[in-house]
Chains A and B, each alone.
Chain A
Amino acid sequence: MTVPEGEENAREGLFSFLSRRRFLKASLVVGGALLGVAGGSLFILRGRAPNVDGLQALDAHEYQTLKSLVEIMFPRTDAIPIDVESMDLPRAFDEFLTGEPKHNVQDLKKALVLIEFGPLVFDRQVSTFSRLDPEARLAHWKSWAISDNLLRRQVSVAMRKFFNLVFFDHEAVWPFIGYPGPSLLRSRSVKQ
């Protein structure tokens, strides 16, 4: 049965104060306001990051996210009593990015945003990654590797690959893992 013309118009009439153009306009305003509130909330939630001199690809917030990440990836332990802050691994990542194609840099920066807001997005915690206490931060980070979400697993793999490679390639670590260092340094008869 077709709807009589008048009834159709009547139903529309309930919202007749909103023409299509007005409706779109209002939606944009409301949506924009909501986004603004959300963005503002996220901004407040993230807080200010300390200024870091000499960064080439990262900004201070991204640096802060990485600093928070490597703190829990490589905590000072009795077995490896090394203060990871002294290695400045986020700066090594910054230097790495300068040699990468633009699209990789963009992707990695997006990954850092995802990590920073991961607790909010994936765990519904009103906190950012950097603001979690170390124990909660580690628990949250561990969940990335076994997540059902492929993107989170990919980010976990990528970060582990880069930072593990750099951390355990550092000569300060070797005495604690039983590695005497490159044999080139130990061998007397190296042909050039």
Chain B
Amino acid sequence: MSGAIVDLSKESVPEGITTEICIVGSGCGGATAAGLLAEAGHEVVVLEEGRDLVGAERNQRDSKMYDQLYMDRGGRATSDLSVSVLQGRVLGGGGVINACDVVPMPEPVLAHWAAKYGLEDFEPGHFGSFQKAALDDLSASRIPESLVNSANNKLRIGAEALGYHGEVMMHNRVGCQGLGTCLIGCPIHAKRNPRMVALPKAIAAGARVFTRARAVEIRQPGQELKELRVRTLDPLGYHEQEELMLRAKVVIVAANAIASAQLLLRSGIGNLQVGRNLMLQPQLPVIGFFKEEINAFQLVPQSYAVTEFEQEDNQDLGLWGYRIEGVMGTPGIVSTLLPFSGAEGMHEMTRYNRMAASLLLAPDQPSGHVEVGRGGRLIIEYAQRPDHQERLRQAVYNAARIYLAAGAAYVVVPTAPPLVIRTTADAEKAREITFAPATAPLLSAHQQGTVRMAPSERDGGADPDGKVYGTRDIYVFDSSGFPSSASSHTMTPIIAASRMLTTKLLTRI
């Protein structure tokens, strides 16, 4: 039996659909679960708010792609606008819009989860096989030298000049032509992401995938048959249209750490832990300006990482230092990060093809929460911790020195006011960054926590199987369940965790 993708903005579905398993979210967690469950012979329906935007529709233009591929049209942010929350809203979820970074969870972090949080299934010897399977799903490989872009090479040149360790990153591209717009979708589908791997398997095995379908409430969480209120959206996904009811025995919520918690909270499901323990892992960009043209808009935008500082933290915290990773974007998104106005801003952007940017990735500890306000309005509260701020300052200091060592004329830290670093001595100015709300363009691509897994209901929102406490067969299979930061990029950890949790679920249904 073959399933299908049904766009509910254009097609209607029969009233009163009943299915065995309903999965909310089609990203790394949801698609992985859908593939395994459907292939095991279970009846699966997947709900996705976004639509199936494919091929040349991914037109590499900032205005349209942030509007159509990202949650809240690219505008999602914490309530104080301090952190932009980048979350996919397209069939395939975050895997469609990420930078394809394949970074498995470090073993000490897994050991920490097992020892401190009682999540024995994450013990490295056990979880390792699921990480291996995730790497296979992703066709993980080292990025070929021919695809490392010039901005990343500048980072490498500077790091090597200072004697710092670094590496060309692992990725999940096959047949990449170096088009350079990974963050707004690959028009040639070179990413081996959930849209290209797990979802086709699920559909071939009979799964039905409804796009432009927003799950707004789960009812009867303690009953055998749960009811999901689903609202269809218009073709552009701006406004809700009709409401339909779907019934399922098992509900798997995998809509990302923000939206999964939002759905549970709107439904009044779960204990007081639901929505808490949010980690955003905010990243700060730093930009080196070079005299020569770099043309970093082509080839792989994120391909080299300085790993020298990865192991500085106390591993008891479950953290894993910080990374300095090369990155580049299309002109529109890059310009939003620059804190200049008027002629000054125009002038800086004339150097777009001479910029080499990096993102500073420092794992954080739980320091925020998700809540639902009037009318179901999402509120993301996050207060960056002083220790995280301090690690970002150190990262800025080192990133600036690296770019200067690579020959940058100057380095800009895009805070307000901007920090311009022209000499190594200037790099000390990094200590002055205050991180006052809405003064630094912090970006979050790795939201975690909010329905933390724990053996005791007192400590978490879900049990070690991912089952939401106080419910019958309602699960979270995404980064919501992570008890502390996965301390890396989250695509591989989410796929591996979903694989493991789904495998356990299959033994019970």
Which residues of A are at the interface with B, using a C-beta cutoff of 8 A?
72-75, 77, 79-80, 96, 98-100, 103, 138, 141-142, 145-146, 150, 153-154, 156-158, 160-161, 164-169, 173-174, 176-180, 182-184, 187, 189-192
User: Which 4 pairs of residues, A with B, have the shortest CB-CB distance?
Assistant: A178-B353, A182-B60, A99-B238, A169-B332
State the CA gap A189–B60 with chains docked (Å). 15
Given the complex, which residues of B lie within 8 Å of A178, measured CB to CB?
293, 295, 350-354
Bound complex: CA of A182 vs CA of B226, how far in Å?
46
Question: Taking A174-B331, A182-B60 as contacts, is the C-beta distance between A153 and B438 under 8 angstroms?
Answer: yes
Q: Known contacts A146-B416, A154-B80; is A77 also within 8 Å of B347 by CB?
A: yes
Is B308 an interface residue, CB under 8 A from the partner? Answer: no
The yes or no answer to B272 lying at the interface (CB within 8 A) is: no
Residues in chain B near residue A164, CB distance under 8 A: 332, 335-336, 338, 345
Give every chain B residue within 8 A of A74 (Cβ-Cβ).
346
Give the residues in chain A near B347, CB-CB below 8 Å: 77, 79
Return chain A residues, CB-CB under 8 Å to B499.
none
Partner of A145, one of B56, B346, B417: B417
Q: Is residue B439 within 8 Å, beta carbon to beta carbon, of the partner chain? A: yes
Q: Which of B146-189 contact A (CB under 8 A)?
A: 177-181, 187-189
CB nearest to A177 among chain B residues:
B352
* Cβ contacts under 8 Å, B268 to chain A: none
**Cβ–Cβ < 8 Å partners of B63 in chain A:** 165-166, 169
Most B C-beta atoms less than 10 A away, residue of A138, A165, A184, A190: A165
Q: B354 and A187: CB pair below 8 A?
A: no
Complex CA gap A79/B349 in Å reads 10
- Complex Cα–Cα for A183 and B61 (A): 10
| Max chain B Cβ within 10 angstroms of own Cβ: one of A156, A178, A191 | A178
Q: Is B62 an interface residue (CB 8 A)?
A: yes
The residue of chain A having its C-beta at the shortest distance from the C-beta of B350 within the complex is A79
Give the nearest-CB partner of B179 in chain A.
A183
Taking a contact as CB atoms closer than 8 A, the residue among B75, B179, B330, B334 that contacts A161 in the complex is: B75
Task: With CB as the reference atom, state the residue of chain A lying closest to B75.
Answer: A161
* CA of A176 to CA of B348, assembled, Å: 11
Min CB gap A96→B, angstroms = 8
- 17 extra interface residue pairs, beta carbon distance < 8 Å, beyond A72-B341, A173-B331, A192-B55: A72-B342, A79-B347, A96-B73, A98-B238, A99-B67, A157-B81, A160-B336, A160-B341, A165-B332, A166-B63, A169-B63, A177-B352, A180-B297, A182-B59, A182-B181, A183-B60, A190-B188
For this complex, 7 residue pairs linking A to B, each with C-beta atoms less than 8 Å apart, are: A79-B346, A138-B341, A165-B63, A165-B66, A176-B350, A182-B60, A184-B56
The answer to whether A169 and B353 have CB atoms under 8 Å apart is no
Q: How far is the CA of A80 from the CA of B73 in the complex (A)?
A: 28
Q: Which of B178, B341, B349 meets A177, CB within 8 Å?
A: B349
A155 vs chain B, min Cβ distance (A): 9
8 Å CB contact of B179 from A138, A167, A184: A184
Query: B439–A168 contact, CB under 8 A?
Result: no
Residue of A nearest to B375 (CB): A103
Residues of B near A183 (CB, < 8 A) are: 60, 177-181, 297-298
Most B CB contacts (10 A, CB to CB) among A156, A158, A182 go to A182
Interface assignment of B115: CB less than 8 Å from any CB of chain A? no
Contact at B417–A179, with CB atoms within 8 Å? no
- Residues of chain A within 8 A (CB-CB) of B343 are 75, 77
Within residues 169 to 215 of chain B, which ones have a CB less than 8 A from any CB in chain A?
A: 177-181, 187-189
CA distance A180 to B351 in the complex (A): 13
Residues of B within 8 A of A180 (CB): 297
B222 within 8 A of A: no
How many angstroms between the C-alpha atoms of A96 and B63 in the bound complex?
Answer: 10
List chain B residues, Cβ under 8 A from A96.
Answer: 73
Q: CA–CA, A104 to B333, complex, Å?
A: 21
Residues of B within 8 A of A158 (CB): 81
Judge whether A146 and B331 touch: CB under 8 Å: no
Q: How far is the CA of A77 from the CA of B331 in the complex (A)?
A: 18
Q: Is B236 an interface residue (CB 8 A)?
A: yes
Is A168 in contact with B181, judged by CB distance below 8 angstroms? Answer: no
Scoring B residues 350 to 366 as 1 if CB is less than 8 Å from chain A, else 0, what string do you get? 11111000000000000
Given A153-B416, A154-B438, A169-B330, decide whether A99 and B236 contact each other with a Cβ distance below 8 A. yes
Q: CB distance B438 to A157 under 8 Å?
A: yes
With known contacts A154-B81, A184-B56, A187-B179, A73–B336 Cβ distance under 8 A: no
Separation of A192 and B55 alpha carbons in the complex (Å): 5
A103 to B431, CA, bound (A): 38
How far, in whole Å, are A165 and B352 apart by their CA atoms in the complex? 14
Q: Does B470 belong to the interface (CB within 8 Å)?
A: no
CB-CB under 8 A from A153, the residues of chain B are 81, 416, 437-439
Cα A156 to Cα B179 in complex, Å, equals 32
Interface flag for B339 (CB, 8 Å): yes
A99: B residues at CB distance < 8 A: 67, 73, 236, 238-239
Interface flags for B422-452 (1: CB within 8 Å of A; 0: not) read 0000000000000001110000000000000
A75 touches B346 (CB 8 A): yes
- Give CA–CA (A99, B240) in the complex, Å: 11
B508 within 8 A of A: no
- Bound CA span A19–B105, Å: 74
**B377 interfacial by beta-carbon distance below 8 Å:** yes
Contacts of A160 in B (CB 8 A): 336, 339, 341
Chain A residues near B333 (CB-CB < 8 A) = 165
Min C-beta distance of A50 to chain B, whole Å: 24
B65, closest chain A residue (CB)? A169
CB contacts under 8 Å to A, within B293-319, are 293, 295, 297-298
B187 / chain A contacts, CB cutoff of 8 Å: 184, 190
Residue in A closest to B57 when the chains form the complex, CB atoms: A192
**Whole-angstrom distance between the alpha carbons of A145 and B416 in the complex?**
6
**Among the interface residues B73, B74, B81, B333, which one has the most CB atoms of the partner chain A within 10 A?**
B81
Distance from A162 Cβ to chain B, minimum over Cβ atoms (Å):
8
In the docked arrangement, what's the CA distance between A156 and B141, Å?
42
**Are A100 and B62 in contact, CB atoms less than 8 angstroms apart?**
no
- Bound complex: CA of A191 vs CA of B190, how far in Å? 10
Question: What residues on B are CB-neighbors of A190 within 8 Å?
Answer: 55-56, 187-188
Residues from chain B with a CB closer than 8 A to the CB of A161 are 75, 336
**Among the listed A138, A154, A177, which residue makes an inter-chain contact with B331, where contact means beta carbons less than 8 Å apart?**
A177
Docked complex Cα distance between A154 and B416 (Å)? 12
